[in-house]
Amino acid sequence: MAGKFNSDLHLDITAFGGQDADMCMNCGTCTTICPMSEDSGGGFPRRVIRLIQTGQQAKLEESLDPWMCYYCGDCTTNCPRQANPAETMMASRRYLTSRYDFTGLAKLFYKSALAEILAIVLVGLFVTGLFVAFHGPMVLNKVELNTFAPVHAIELGDWIMAAVLSFFLLAGAARMTWWTLGRRNMLRISPMIFIQQIPVFFVHLFTQKRWHKCGSHHSGIRWIKHLLLVSGYLSMLTLVLILLRWFQTDTVYPFYYPQRLWGYYATIALLYPTLDFMISRWRRKEPIHLFSEASDWIFLIMLFLTALTGIMVNIFRVGGLPMATYLIYVIHLSIAVPMLVVEVPFSKWSHIMYRPLSIYLAGVKQAVGAARTREEQSAEKIAA
């Protein structure tokens, strides 16, 4: 990490999409209005904005606050200075993601849409190239996807990709943990606490239940849509990573067969929310949709296209169109793979991990604090 103080921190955050944070006069209206802020103890968004204004890079990077905000936008609506605190919170999440990533790619992609698109195109072309070079025989009288792209080969590719991405993702998670728990403190924390808090991570990963506290009237619906999206996403991930042999078959099972039903559910759960989010971002009716960064658009478009091409593979396969199936399959993977490679560790996707991890870390911190108070109290008792 750089020095503690960074006089250009506000400019850095602006580069990640922050708006007018310099207009903030520290009144605290945003913090009062924010339904999520009360139990974080830090008084965000004001504190986060304050840290940015005052160039406190180290303190910002040690903070979990940006992750506690679910962007209802109420603070922005009520800010008397039009300092757009919500967008600053969003930008600081992007900033933190780029800081947790040690490769510098996240920073590059966030700051330059061109670089991100280029990376996606390159990886996409690479995948297409792999198919052009190594695809299996194309049976044309009936659909034999597993001959064109044998499932064990695809599975191997999946696992290699998953391993690489996990490495980057876990490296980011490690840095986040290291910084937020405090370099010196971390080693002193009892491993039991880390273990005890693990359920928290998974509960929040699957439910995002904290979001439910968000007071804004639209938040409920947004949460449900988001939940739908995550369930679709995780379903798809399970189907292609763990259950691929069961999922990618050439036999056409009846409609009600779980393999198909689950796949359809996942598709709808991906298509509907992404489409809906895109429309909202396009319309810019809500304050939260006023400012869309290229990274937001790319993420949604890629996810949408992945699901769309995925369902098309299914339609063509069930419809018995061999050539179309093979073609769209290559396109599907040429979108899905770059989407995962670029988005998962280096862009917006990573928040799926950072959000529950931040709540987990907050839980650890709290448990450590509680343990310390208990120790102090008993020490006092002994002294008395």
Partner 1 sequence: MESMKQETVQDSAIPHTPRVGVYICRCGGNISDVVDTDHVAEICRLIPGVAVSKVHTFMCSDPGQQTISDDIRQEKLDRVVVASCSPFLHELTFRGAVMRSKMNPYLYEHVNIREQCSWAHKHDPRGATAKAIQLISAAVGKLSHSTPLEKIRLPNHRRAMVVGGGPAGMKVAADLAACGIPVVLVERSDRLGGKLPILNRLFPNGQAATELAAKLESQVLSNPKIEVLLKSEVTTVSGFIGNFEVAIHGDFGPSGHATDIHTTVGVIVMATGFKPYVPTDGEFNFKRHPAVVTTVDFNALLSKQKGDARTFQFDGRCIRSIAFIHCVGSRQVDGVHTPAVDGRINTYCSRVCCTTVLNQALQVRQRFPDTRVYDLHQDIRTYGRGHEEYYTDASRAGVVFYRYHGQEPPEVTNTNGPTSPLRISVKDYLSWGEELEIEADMVVLAVGMTPGPCETLVDQLKLPRGEDRFLQEIHPKLRPVEISVNGVLLAGTSQAPMNIQETLAAAGAAAVKARAMFTTEEVELNPYVAEVDAHLCEGSGACLTQCEYDGALAMVEILQDGHTVRKAHVNAGLCVGCGACVAVCPTQAINVSGWRIDQYDAMVDGLVRDLTPTTI
Least distance (Å) from ligand SF4 to the CB of residue 167?
Answer: 38
> 337: exposed, middle or buried (C-beta count within 10 Å: 0-12, 13-18, 19+)?
buried
7 binds, among partner 1, ligand SF4, none (CB under 5 to 8 A by kind): partner 1
The C-alpha atoms of residue 365 and residue 5 are separated, in whole angstroms, by 24
CA angle centred on 62, ends 59 and 64, rounded to 5°: 115
Binding positions for partner 1, 31-60, rule CB under 8 A: 43, 47, 50-51, 53-56, 59
List the structure tokens of 296.
Answer: 């937001």
Is 2 an interacting residue with respect to partner 1 (CB under 8 A)?
A: no
Give, to the nearest 10 degrees, the angle between helix 219-237 and helix 258-283. Answer: 140
> 184: exposed, middle or buried (C-beta count within 10 Å: 0-12, 13-18, 19+)?
exposed
Give, to the nearest 10 degrees, the angle between helix 113-134 and helix 322-346. Answer: 140
4, 183, 284, 372: which one contacts partner 1 (CB under 8 A)? 4
Cβ contact 296:348 at 8 Å: yes
22 binds, among partner 1, ligand SF4, none (CB under 5 to 8 A by kind): partner 1
18 binds, among ligand SF4, partner 1, none (CB under 5 to 8 A by kind): none
Give the x/- contact pattern for partner 1 in 159-188, rule: CB under 8 A: ------------------------------
25, 121, 125, 140: which one contacts partner 1 (CB under 8 A)? 25
Distance from chain centroid for Cα 149: 30
Task: Output 75 or 364, the one with its CB closest to ligand SF4.
Answer: 75
Cβ contact 323:140 at 8 Å: yes
| Site residues for ligand SF4 per CB under 6 A | 24-30, 45-46, 49, 75, 79, 81, 83, 85
Cβ contact 63:78 at 8 Å: no
Task: Output 59 or 213, the one with its CB closest to partner 1.
Answer: 59
55 binds, among partner 1, ligand SF4, none (CB under 5 to 8 A by kind): partner 1
Is 7 an interacting residue with respect to partner 1 (CB under 8 A)?
A: yes
Residue whose tokens read 């949709």: 289
Is 22 an interacting residue with respect to partner 1 (CB under 8 A)?
A: yes
Helix or strand or coil: residue 56? strand
Is 280 an interacting residue with respect to partner 1 (CB under 8 A)?
A: no
Q: Which residues contact 363 (CB under 8 A, 6 or more apart)?
A: 197, 200
Q: Tell me the backbone φ, ψ of residue 355, rounded to 5 degrees.
A: -60, -60
CA distances from 326 to 73, 93, 128, 312, 331 (A): 44, 39, 12, 11, 9
Task: Output 81 or 175, the one with its CB closest to partner 1.
Answer: 81
- For residue 152, the tally of other CB atoms under 10 A from its CB is 10
Task: Output 80 or 258, the one with its CB closest to ligand SF4.
Answer: 80
Task: Output 54 or 249, the one with its CB closest to ligand SF4.
Answer: 54
Least distance (Å) from partner 1 to the CB of residue 53?
Answer: 5
Task: Output 47 or 281, the one with its CB closest to ligand SF4.
Answer: 47
Least distance (Å) from partner 1 to the CB of residue 10?
Answer: 9
Task: Output 17 or 345, the one with its CB closest to ligand SF4.
Answer: 17
5 binds, among ligand SF4, partner 1, none (CB under 5 to 8 A by kind): partner 1
235 binds, among partner 1, ligand SF4, none (CB under 5 to 8 A by kind): none
The C-alpha atoms of residue 228 and residue 249 are separated, in whole angstroms, by 26
In the complex, which residues of this chain contact partner 1 (CB under 8 A)? 4-5, 7, 22-23, 25-26, 43, 47, 50-51, 53-56, 59
